[in-house]
């Protein structure tokens, strides 16, 4: 287990950076990242892979919701993806390399590797290569235990964790898969130093067990001071959006 830097336990993490669509600041955008750095928040971002193997900072596996383009992110190369404007703002899709240069260790950076189809390990390999030599507080996580295990092999010095939750029917996975992941049986095997758990499901006994074993418990996604206060009865830290979380 690679220890999670203390900043990840203390400083709230801006979900997909400090975005505000009403103000033209779109999730996972350079402007949202700049706002989070200026405010002193940690940052959570998401990665998808381009057709030519470049990690792109983008949540969805398709372009439809956040750009005027359509279809899978993985169907286009990085040069083309970087030209696509994020709907509602002035930014374009950044690469992970862009974001690492922008953050430059000023605040903690939590990177979620989105589950890939095909699951060929290409995103993990490209991410690990970019993180070599990055000097700031950084950690990686995924809903997919296999991806976290590959990160352990490729970048053993980078703290890693599992994104976890209730795995109800809305997740769209087969029942057997959901039952397995809901029990969070893989934390030890992948060397996780933390979980980031669905806030509404923090009362699950397995969360308390893992915390007692020394894993940090982060949670997603908090949208008000009231729900933050409730989550902090269990969680060490929160991933938030839509309000200004209190800084330590």
The CATH number covering residue 174 comes to: 3.20.20.190
Helix axes 96-103, 30-39, angle to 10 degrees: 20
d(CA 146, CA 222): 27
- Tens of each residue's pLDDT in the chain, 248 residues: 999 999 999 999 999 999 999 999 999 999 999 999 999 999 999 999 999 999 999 999 999 999 999 999 999 999 999 999 999 999 999 999 999 999 999 999 999 999 998 999 999 999 999 999 899 999 999 999 999 999 999 999 999 999 999 999 999 899 999 999 999 999 999 999 999 999 999 999 999 999 999 999 999 999 999 999 999 999 999 999 999 999 99
d(CA 150, CA 72): 23
What's the pLDDT at 141?
98
Q: Report the domain count for the chain.
A: 1
- Within a domain: 205: yes
What's the pLDDT at 34?
98
- Within a domain: 247: no
The residue range of the domain holding 95 is 7-240
- Within a domain: 131: yes
- Within a domain: 1: no
What does residue 154 show for φ and ψ, rounded to 5 degrees? -85, -35
- Within a domain: 248: no
What does residue 199 show for φ and ψ, rounded to 5 degrees? -60, -40
The alpha helices in the chain, defined as continuous H runs, are 7-10, 30-39, 78-81, 96-103, 122-131, 145-154, 175-182, 205-212, 225-231
- Within a domain: 67: yes
What's the pLDDT at 31?
98
What's the pLDDT at 185?
98
- Within a domain: 201: yes
- Within a domain: 245: no
Q: What's the maximum distance between 2 C-alpha atoms anywhere in the chain?
A: 47
Structure tokens at 101: 């240069």
């Amino acid at each position: 287990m690679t220890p999670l830097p203390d900043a990840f336990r203390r400083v709230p993490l801006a979900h997909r950076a400090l975005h505000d669509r009403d103000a033209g600041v779109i999730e996972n955008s350079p402007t949202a990242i700049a706002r989070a750095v200026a405010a002193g928040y940690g940052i959570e971002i998401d990665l998808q892979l381009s057709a030519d193997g470049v990690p792109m900072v983008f949540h969805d596996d398709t372009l439809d919701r956040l750009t005027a383009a359509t279809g899978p992110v993985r169907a286009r190369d990085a040069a083309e993806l970087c030209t696509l404007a994020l709907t509602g703002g002035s930014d374009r899709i950044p690469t992970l390399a862009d974001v690492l240069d922008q953050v430059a260790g000023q605040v903690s950076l939590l990177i979620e590797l989105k589950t890939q189809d095909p699951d060929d390990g290409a995103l993990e390999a490209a991410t690990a290569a970019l993180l070599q030599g990055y000097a700031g507080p950084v950690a990686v996580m995924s809903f997919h235990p296999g991806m976290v295990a590959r990160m352990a092999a490729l970048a053993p010095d980078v703290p890693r964790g599992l994104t976890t939750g209730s795995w109800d029917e809305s997740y769209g996975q087969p029942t057997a898969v959901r039952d397995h992941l809901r029990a969070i049986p893989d934390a030890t095997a992948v060397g996780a130093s933390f979980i980031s758990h669905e806030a509404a499901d923090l009362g699950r006994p397995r969360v308390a067990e893992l915390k007692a074993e020394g894993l940090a418990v982060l949670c997603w996604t908090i949208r008000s001071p009231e729900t933050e206060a409730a989550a902090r009865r269990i969680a060490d830290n929160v991933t938030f959006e839509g309000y200004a979380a209190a800084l330590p």
